[in-house]
Amino acid sequence: MSEHKDFLRTIVEEDLASGKYEEVVTRFPPEPNGFPHIGHAKSICINFGIAKAYGGHCNLRMDDTNPTTEDTKYVEALKDAVEWLGFKWEDGVRYTSDYFPKLYDYAVELIKMGEAYVDSLSEEEIREYRGTVTQAGRRSKYAQRSVEENLALFEQMKNGECKEGEHVLRAKIDMGAANMKLRDPLLYRIRHAHHYRAGDVWHVYPMYDFAHCLSDYIEGITHSICTLEFENNRAIYDWVLDTLGLTAHRPYQHEFARLGINYTVMSKRLLLELVKSGKVSGWDDPRLPTIAGYRRRGYTPESIIHFCDSIGVAKANSTVDVAQLEFAIRDDLNTKVPRVMCVLDPLKVTLINYEGSEVLDASYYPEDVPKEGSRALPFSKELYIEREDFSLNPPKDYNRLTLEQPVRLRHAYIITCKEVVKDAEGNIVEIKAEYHADSKSGVDTSGIKVKSAIQWVDAATAKIVEVRLYDRLFQDEAPQSLEDVNPDSLHIIKNALIEPAVILDRPDERFQFERQGYFYADPVDYTDQNPVFNKIVGLKDSWSKKKKIDTPILKPQVKNEQIEGEVSAMSVAEQALFDRYTGELQLNPEVANTLARDAKLSSFYETALGECDSPIGLANIIANEVARELKEKEVRELKFTPMQIAQLVKMIEDETISTKIAKQVFEEMVLCGEDPTHIVEAKGLVQISDPAFILPIIDEVMAKNPDNVEKYRAGNTKLFGFFVGQVLKATEGKANPQVVNALIEEKLKH
């Protein structure tokens, strides 16, 4: 993690520091109705990570309130994912279904309080009564049922005496609420379904909005962290807990943006479609962004965690470039994994001047990886190299084998091409080459300069392996449907050749096939008879990139033009005020506009005007500073009065205080409502304009930052603000900024 804290950690730290909670308790609450994907990994890292970082704990809870979609196989997958990532949950796995009895009791309590009712409208009617985003809904006539009737009905619902859809339990909140979620949300619905865990005892099941907040409360959760789409639900979350009076040590919900990655999909629906349609082999298909998929592909838990840490946590919807994920796995594997040689597309090479065979000792790790180990590498007359590593008509900057250009066989000798053998169609089928006996790796005395070293295998001892190459599953950067799948996302090479140590010694399960990428022995299909390797990720390849640059694609640089919308017209009264402000009072039109359009502001202004005859100064501070305070408050809720603002403005006008100090004083007034004159007096905030006092401070600042002085004099005039800021800070804001500016300018000249 970088030094900065994300907003969630900032909140947690504040809550801990203020004593709101003694210990942080979080939870990861998936619904067991699908396989977890890397978006869940982000949530896991956040929830478990925060708990760990602040010495608290995190629960794993299955949010299983919908019996028709949930299944044990998903809870297993969820547990696996958390475990594989290396996190530990507190005690056993929790289940919302375990709280069903408690939840039922809370519902009964709400009914008794008159805060919930049994509604018997049909599903369509409920929808209709809910209204639309612009129109208020209307309440069902059943909302008038008595507490007794509601109690009896709810009991019948629980006992299975009602049909599905016949009744629901709803909270009695507000059918006209602007927040649609608050229009008497459903709390319970009837389901005569078998619950994978609770069995058949229940006939009513709680809805998310009712169950989740209470489950959090029951578990003593402090910070209930979820994704952005639940922002509107927070109002119900708070309503339920507050209405039930569960306010003592209650949790609060905080939302962050879910993870998106380009060229893939994260929606449960699309993932399920992919699996069901057979476009992928299963939930653990290595092309899928599921945890099981990444795991099978060969990603390490460390790489996933580092990735999640690297992308940050914020509230802006965003799509992370898949390159960032690929970086995380390369970066992790680079220092961990042995290097071996594998030839994917073999081209035979016969060494015409070599006889017999030998065994080379080759290190598994390059010099820059601090790990030890080597393997025996057989070498003889017949070898295979990668077809790509030989060229008859080499492009510019081609570093590999050509008719004229020798190349080193990694860990072995330098070879020179002598003859190219072609078949009837003109395809190259074999290279006849000479090796240089005095060029053996490590004891090279040949003096031959080569431009690169290439991988190879010994024909006699190489093993045949299956290699599965994966490309992005979708061809569209932001795929919308299965239409966008990449038809070419899987390439299976049945006859790749690999050096024997990989198969015989099995020094690891992940390897770097030199110059190609990182590969993983498939945990499912690998057998001794048919070894299978999955390509995790390729190496960075600046060569193939370079070749592509020959045909540069010029993106048309279209800058979206901003459309200026129309400002709504002022009412007659507002217009009259505006005219007076700009005319008689000489206010800036913008300030006048702000004041005139806001009744709270204009009345505040009018009152203050009676106390002080500097209309412009008053208007500025009211339209800017006071406006902020009045955004979510009424005038009577303010601690300060128009008269006090008038006093403040007077002090600015007679230069007792600078505008900077005025801001400070204002902050104080907002909090305590004291007279500005008192605040100024108590804190000694009188402005200092005497150069004799300021000059030494400037000297000090300049002496402390000689490099910045130099930079400024070299032309970095942006640093001017830095110096002013430093001097102001040193005087706790009391120095007259205008005087400081003038003095610094003078000082910095030479």
Please say which residue, 295 or 734, places its beta carbon nearer to RNA: 734
| CA 682 to chain CA centroid, nearest Å | 47
Q: Report the run of H or E that residue 520 belongs to, with start and end.
A: strand 517-521
Binding track over 654-673 against RNA, x by CB under 7 A: ----xxx--x----------
Max Cα–Cα distance, the chain, nearest Å = 109
Residue from 336, 597, 678, 747 binding RNA (CB under 7 A): 597
Rg (CA), the chain: 36
Q: Rounded to the nearest whole angstrom, what is the least distance from the CB of residue 736 to RNA in the complex?
A: 9
Rounded CA separation 3/6 (Å): 10
Q: Rounded to the nearest whole angstrom, what is the least distance from the CB of residue 97 to RNA in the complex?
A: 11
Residue 262 main-chain phi, psi, to 5 deg: -75, 160
Q: Rounded to the nearest whole angstrom, what is the least distance from the CB of residue 423 to RNA in the complex?
A: 25
Which positions from 719 through 738 interact with RNA, judged by CB under 7 A?
A: 719, 721-722, 724-726, 728-729, 737-738
Q: Is 576 in the site for RNA (CB under 7 A)?
A: no
Q: Rounded to the nearest whole angstrom, what is the least distance from the CB of residue 569 to RNA in the complex?
A: 11
Q: Within 10 A of 136 (CB to CB), how many other CB atoms are there? A: 13
CA nearest neighbour of 330 among 308, 309, 370, 300: 300
Q: Rounded to the nearest whole angstrom, what is the least distance from the CB of residue 708 to RNA in the complex?
A: 6
Residue from 563, 569, 692, 703 binding RNA (CB under 7 A): 563
Q: Is 480 in the site for RNA (CB under 7 A)?
A: no
Residue from 151, 175, 186, 748 binding RNA (CB under 7 A): 186
End-to-end CA distance of the chain: 44
Rounded CA separation 6/2 (Å): 10
Please say which residue, 549 or 703, places its beta carbon nearer to RNA: 549
Q: Is 442 in the site for RNA (CB under 7 A)?
A: yes
Q: Rounded to the nearest whole angstrom, what is the least distance from the CB of residue 566 to RNA in the complex?
A: 6
Name the one range near RNA by CB under 7 A: 344-352, 441-449, 459-467, 489-497. Answer: 441-449
Which positions from 30 through 59 interact with RNA, judged by CB under 7 A?
A: 31
Q: Is 336 in the site for RNA (CB under 7 A)?
A: no
Please say which residue, 485 or 595, places its beta carbon nearer to RNA: 595
**148 in active site:** no
Q: Is 685 in the site for RNA (CB under 7 A)?
A: no
Helix (H, G, I), strand (E, B) or coil at 89: coil
Residues near 454 by Cβ (< 8 Å), separated by ≥ 6?
385, 386, 389, 400, 401, 407, 408, 409, 410, 515
Please say which residue, 279 or 597, places its beta carbon nearer to RNA: 597
Q: Based on the number of CB atoms within 10 Å of its own CB, is 68 exposed (0-12), middle (13-18) or buried (19 or more)?
A: exposed
In sign, the C-alpha dihedral spanning 562, 568, 574, 580 is: positive
Which positions from 449 through 468 interact with RNA, judged by CB under 7 A?
A: 452-454
Please say which residue, 292 or 619, places its beta carbon nearer to RNA: 619
Q: How many CA atoms does the CB half-sphere of 467 hold within 13 Å?
A: 21
Q: Is 689 in the site for RNA (CB under 7 A)?
A: no
Please say which residue, 17 or 567, places its beta carbon nearer to RNA: 567
Q: Is 593 in the site for RNA (CB under 7 A)?
A: yes
Helix (H, G, I), strand (E, B) or coil at 90: coil
In sign, the C-alpha dihedral spanning 528, 534, 536, 541 is: positive
Please say which residue, 132 or 529, places its beta carbon nearer to RNA: 132
Q: Rounded to the nearest whole angstrom, what is the least distance from the CB of residue 185 to RNA in the complex?
A: 8
DSSP string of 337-390, one letter each residue: S-EE-EESSEEEEEETT--SEEEEEEESS-TTS----EEEEEEESEEEEEGGGE
Size of the site for RNA (CB under 7 A): 132
Which positions from 267 through 296 interact with RNA, judged by CB under 7 A?
A: none
Binding track over 80-109 against RNA, x by CB under 7 A: ------------------------------
Rounded CA separation 658/689 (Å): 10
Q: Is 540 in the site for RNA (CB under 7 A)?
A: yes
**574 in active site:** no
CA nearest neighbour of 13 among 49, 45, 53: 53
Please say which residue, 397 or 483, places its beta carbon nearer to RNA: 397
DSSP 405: -
Q: Rounded to the nearest whole angstrom, what is the least distance from the CB of residue 419 to RNA in the complex?
A: 22
Over 659-671, what HEC string results? HHHHHHHHHHHHH
Rounded CA separation 641/675 (Å): 9
Please say which residue, 526 or 720, places its beta carbon nearer to RNA: 720
CA distances, 240 to each of 29, 624, 717 (Å) = 19, 38, 57
For residues 677, 678, 682, 688, the Cα torsion angle rounded to the nearest 10 degrees is 0
Angle CA 697–699–700, to nearest 5: 65
For residues 715, 721, 724, 730, the Cα torsion angle rounded to the nearest 10 degrees is -120
Rounded CA separation 736/719 (Å): 19
DSSP 478: S
Which positions from 229 through 268 interact with RNA, judged by CB under 7 A?
A: 229-233, 257
Residue from 334, 486, 582, 677 binding RNA (CB under 7 A): 334
Which positions from 2 through 21 interact with RNA, judged by CB under 7 A?
A: 2, 4-7, 10
Please say which residue, 30 or 285, places its beta carbon nearer to RNA: 30
| Active-site pick, 130, 172, 191, 268 | 268
Residue from 541, 579, 690, 700 binding RNA (CB under 7 A): 541
Which positions from 363 through 382 interact with RNA, judged by CB under 7 A?
A: 366, 368-369
Helix (H, G, I), strand (E, B) or coil at 283: coil
Q: Is 514 in the site for RNA (CB under 7 A)?
A: yes
Residue from 44, 351, 457, 591 binding RNA (CB under 7 A): 591
Rounded CA separation 73/64 (Å): 13
Residue from 105, 358, 590, 655 binding RNA (CB under 7 A): 590
Q: Rounded to the nearest whole angstrom, what is the least distance from the CB of residue 125 to RNA in the complex?
A: 8
Tell me the two tokens of residue 642.
């128009």
| Active-site pick, 5, 79, 130, 258 | 258
Q: Is 539 in the site for RNA (CB under 7 A)?
A: yes
Which positions from 292 through 331 interact with RNA, judged by CB under 7 A?
A: 310-321, 323-324, 326-327, 330-331
**191 in active site:** no
CA nearest neighbour of 411 among 382, 447, 387, 375: 375
Is 345 in contact with 387 (CB distance < 8 Å)?
yes
Please say which residue, 366 or 673, places its beta carbon nearer to RNA: 366
Is 468 in contact with 494 (CB distance < 8 Å)?
no
Q: Rounded to the nearest whole angstrom, what is the least distance from the CB of residue 118 to RNA in the complex?
A: 11
Residue from 52, 139, 172, 181 binding RNA (CB under 7 A): 181
Which positions from 141 through 170 interact with RNA, judged by CB under 7 A?
A: 164-165, 168
Residue from 207, 457, 501, 648 binding RNA (CB under 7 A): 207
Please say which residue, 23 or 477, places its beta carbon nearer to RNA: 477
Is 274 in contact with 282 (CB distance < 8 Å)?
no
| Active-site pick, 27, 31, 408, 510 | 31
| Catalytic sites, residue numbers | 31, 258, 268
